[in-house]
A and B are shown apart, each in its own frame.
Chain A
Amino acid sequence: MDRRTFVKRSLGASIAFGTFMKAGSLFGALGGAELPYDLVAVKGGEADSMFDQGIGALGGMKSFVRKGDKVVVKPNIGWDVSPERGGNTNPKLVARIIRHCLEAGAKEVNIVDHPCDEWQRCYTHSGIEKAVKDAGGKMVPGGSPSYYNKVSVNNGKALKSTEEHEVILESDVFINVPVLKCHSGSKLTAGLKNMMGNVWDREYWHRTDLHQCIADFATYRKPTLNVLDAYYVMKQNGPRGVSVNDVVTMKAQLISTDIVALDAAGAKLYGIQPDDVRHIRIAAEMKIGREDLENLRIKRITV
């Protein structure tokens, strides 16, 4: 059995098992215990201290990570730019999430992305590589097709199959950590759009129907937890940005197990209506999550 077959077979089993396990728990919280809030919104602090308080409101990281779990954290590390440019997720937030996972007993915490710019320069210049190392996590390379394995998206309308990074496929817990910014193609990038970095062939999405594919992929795997970094928010020239002048210091953060609710609240935070972003609207219509924020239990925290 070669490595690929091995990975695929063991994956098939674990996905089947995972689906079975998840069926019992709404929004992926462990042991069937319902979370006290659907969405936690924090403002006014640093990226790391806001997360401390936000995750505390959901009962701490132990609500999501069991002892011995393999965790994957997926920040946005798409661009070869420094942290204050707001093109990538805040390294301080990534580091703090890793610490919480390790404290909750995670066996290992892997960090991965499929960057748009040259992957090593993105890992280094985003400040994420160093922050991850210091926090005890592991950077996993994502810049070559050999790391991605084919998966089928059974409920997808435009996206029937794609290739996902092996380290994500092998994980018990998947934490999606997007950064909030504008996007010249998809209008806004937050939780749903960030998941595009899990896969290799993005051209297919672009070529076929970008918004529909983004929503379709969310039917394939719902993250265990989503943390939206809105500390530095890029308001123009996104998603890469050309200068620090593209960015405002918003000092906010959203945490939710519902990726659609996260994006809906993110859109409002950014200053547009959720339905203006087609993939958020489609995802809500496909019942991947809820965008009716007025009916959700929201915890608002000011640090």
Chain B
Amino acid sequence: MTKSRWKTTRKIRVAVSLSFLVLTTAIFLDPWHLMPPQFVKYLTSLQIVPVLLKSVMTGGAVATGGLIFVAVMTLLFGRVYCSTICPIGTLQDIIGKLSRKINRRKRFKYYKSPQWLQYSILVFGAAAVLFSGSMIIGDLLDPFSNYGRLTSGFALPVILFANNVLAAFLGHFGIYLLYDIPVHIHEIGMLFFAFLFLAVVAYLSVTEGRLFCNSFCPAGGILSLMSRISAVRLVIRDDACNDCGACDRVCKAECIDSEARRIDFSACVSCFDCLRACPTNAVEYAARFGGGVRTQPAEFDQGRREFFKNVGVPAAALLVAPGVVESGIVVSSSRQPISPPGSTSVGRFTSLCTACHLCVTSCPTNVLKPSFLEYGLAGMSQPMMKYEYGFCNYDCTVCGDICPTGAIMKTHTAAKKLIQIGNARLNKDECIVVAKKKDCSACSEHCPTKAVHTVPYEGTLLLPEVDDSLCIGCGACENACPVLPKKAIIVNPKPVHGTAKKPAVAKPKTGEGIKEFPF
């Protein structure tokens, strides 16, 4: 066996991981909406936490296919996912690699990974979804969703700024290939938590390699369970090993016990760095049917024990606490949040959304924006309809087409046009027509169903009026209302979405063709 073979394997792994990182980044940084929704759907169908939620809770061929693919891949080859498909995995590798360029003496050392924490988080997360309808674990810890929040929250404004500078420059010469796109910065509190996640993960990747993946990550937890029975695994051949410890020192998952010549494959992220590092080719990636090599209980490193006492346990408690008290805490806001059409109800939405913000970056009208605490602490960052930024386009179904978790279900255009996510309420006293005795009706003008229509009012004036049975709560009226500072027409949320009546329209009796000009 030659060394070059493993070098190629590792190179392929690096190339695949970078490709996935670039593509995953691209779907979030696409303010021009160039990515076909179908492509986005296929790409995200490999993200284990969203796809598990989608295939189990709502179904769907692509999601189920993606789940089966990742499961089979893991059962055959171990946690390859963590070193290829996962954007946070690759991000950690990049941060770690850069840090080791600065601190060249950094060496990893085996310790037994705190999988008890990881599995507890998984169990708690599943229980939270099933029993209290809370997506707290996915919301806070899913790597894909965190990556989405980071790119949409921090990288997208930079891209938009660059786009706008270039668009202005080209526009000066009458070239409108690029166009100006208004930049909206997300809620600062939401951004703080996204950044906090990045800071913790970056710190861990510098000091402890892939510790996040083996302690807090729910995706890592699911795959770790599967990889315990993987067919092809990394093992150390007793006959070839010279106990040099090279594998141990390069292992960022810190799962190689070189003294015992054992690899804890359930914690291994299949980066193949050890294969390259081993001078005697004693580390092998080979089929081991029948359970492979059992990991032996090793000395628990005292320092690490302290770390988890000091950090892990309080962190876990922090995660658990809001889930338990969640239902009680809803931070007061002017009104309850409105969840997007296709989510069926606020309850269902908050129990399935992992807040990856793909719908936020894909929404053509910018009406979907991240919440902060509007859905409560456990629903932090989950998107909501914010009518101050836009309104839900009547014929648009993009968010449902691309939602990776199925929190927003795919709906056909005809059905979507009847989904009632709220009801408009007109405050007549504040309305321009009543208050100023002038025509306005911006609300009625924008209404796509004519639920908001106008009726004669004093003299020739036209006053808006709302027909609840036709109103779908799209927010076009609220967005268009010119009254300051508080709009005169506001959409009240429907926590459980309803179905509006289809507008019935009879053909006008006169006007078809003209015989003579009436002037």
A94 CB → nearest B CB, Å: 17
In the assembled complex, B328 has its CB within 8 A of some CB on chain A:
no
- Among the 9-residue stretches A13-21, A25-33, A220-228, A245-253, the one with 4 or more Cβ atoms under 8 Å from chain B is A245-253
Interchain CB contact under 8 A, A206 and B440: yes
Interchain CB contact under 8 A, B447 and A249: no
Interchain CB contact under 8 A, A269 and B514: yes
Distance in angstroms between the alpha carbons of A211 and B460 in the assembled complex: 12
State which of A166, A185, A250 has its C-beta within 8 Å of the C-beta of B442. Answer: A185
Q: Which residues of A contact B446 (CB under 8 A)?
A: 116, 240
Interchain CB contact under 8 A, A265 and B519: yes
In the assembled complex, B364 has its CB within 8 A of some CB on chain A:
yes
* A 262-279 to B, binary, CB cutoff 8 A, 1 in contact else 0: 001100111100001010
Q: Which residues of A contact B300 (CB under 8 A)?
A: none
A169 CB → nearest B CB, Å: 13
Interchain CB contact under 8 A, B444 and A184: yes
State which of A138, A143, A186, A206 has its C-beta within 8 Å of the C-beta of B179. Answer: A143
* A 130-172 to B, binary, CB cutoff 8 A, 1 in contact else 0: 0000000011110111110000000000000000001000000
In the assembled complex, B58 has its CB within 8 A of some CB on chain A:
no
The 9 A-B residue pairs whose C-beta atoms are closest, nearest first, are A185-B441, A203-B482, A141-B179, A144-B180, A248-B511, A207-B482, A235-B508, A245-B505, A184-B444
Q: Which residues of A contact B484 (CB under 8 A)?
A: 207
Distance in angstroms between the alpha carbons of A88 and B393 in the assembled complex: 17
In the assembled complex, A61 has its CB within 8 A of some CB on chain B:
no
Interchain CB contact under 8 A, A207 and B440: yes
Interchain CB contact under 8 A, B505 and A117: no
In the assembled complex, B164 has its CB within 8 A of some CB on chain A:
yes
Interchain CB contact under 8 A, A210 and B462: no
Interchain CB contact under 8 A, A235 and B442: no
In the assembled complex, A92 has its CB within 8 A of some CB on chain B:
no
Interchain CB contact under 8 A, A243 and B503: yes
Known contacts A144-B179, A242-B450; is-contact A209 B508 (Cβ 8 Å): no
Q: Which residues of A contact B517 (CB under 8 A)?
A: 41, 43, 252, 265, 269, 300
Q: Which of B345-397 contact A (CB under 8 A)?
A: 364-365, 390, 393-396
Question: Can you offer 20 A-B residue contacts whose CB atoms are under 8 A?
Answer: A80-B395, A108-B174, A116-B446, A125-B395, A144-B181, A185-B440, A187-B462, A206-B432, A210-B440, A237-B503, A240-B448, A242-B505, A249-B512, A265-B517, A265-B519, A268-B518, A269-B517, A269-B519, A270-B511, A271-B518
Which of A118, A208, A211, A276 has the most chain B CB atoms closer than 10 A to its own CB? A118
Number of interface residues of A (CB under 8 A): 63
Q: Which residues of B contact A22 (CB under 8 A)?
A: none
In the assembled complex, A191 has its CB within 8 A of some CB on chain B:
no
Task: Knowing that A185-B444, A237-B450, A237-B453 touch, tell me 11 more A-B residue pairs with CB under 8 angstroms.
Answer: A121-B364, A125-B395, A144-B182, A187-B439, A211-B439, A233-B511, A236-B508, A239-B445, A242-B449, A248-B511, A250-B513
Distance in angstroms between the alpha carbons of A252 and B460 in the assembled complex: 28
Distance in angstroms between the alpha carbons of A206 and B179 in the assembled complex: 27
Q: Which residues of B contact A (CB under 8 A)?
A: 164, 168, 171-172, 174, 176, 179-182, 364-365, 390, 393-396, 432, 436, 438-442, 444-450, 453-454, 460, 462, 464, 480, 482-484, 503, 505-508, 510-514, 517-519
Interchain CB contact under 8 A, B176 and A141: yes
Interchain CB contact under 8 A, A185 and B439: yes
Majority SS of interface residues in chain B? loop
Interchain CB contact under 8 A, A184 and B454: yes
Distance in angstroms between the alpha carbons of A38 and B32 in the assembled complex: 45
Interchain CB contact under 8 A, B439 and A278: yes
A-B contact count (CB 8 A): 156
Q: Which residues of A contact B449 (CB under 8 A)?
A: 242
Which of B164, B390, B510, B513 has the most chain A CB atoms closer than 10 A to its own CB? B513
User: Which B residue's beta carbon lies closest to that of A142?
Assistant: B179
In the assembled complex, A293 has its CB within 8 A of some CB on chain B:
yes
In the assembled complex, A120 has its CB within 8 A of some CB on chain B:
yes
Interchain CB contact under 8 A, A121 and B508: no
Q: Which residues of A contact B464 (CB under 8 A)?
A: 184
Interchain CB contact under 8 A, A185 and B445: yes
Interchain CB contact under 8 A, A278 and B395: no
Distance in angstroms between the alpha carbons of A276 and B393 in the assembled complex: 33
A245 CB → nearest B CB, Å: 4
Interchain CB contact under 8 A, A243 and B511: no
Distance in angstroms between the alpha carbons of A144 and B163 in the assembled complex: 13
State which of A80, A184, A242, A268 has its C-beta within 8 Å of the C-beta of B519. Answer: A268
User: Which A residue's beta carbon lies closest to that of B506?
Assistant: A245
B475 CB → nearest A CB, Å: 13
Interchain CB contact under 8 A, A116 and B480: yes
Distance in angstroms between the alpha carbons of A237 and B436 in the assembled complex: 24
User: Which A residue's beta carbon lies closest to that of B455?
Assistant: A184
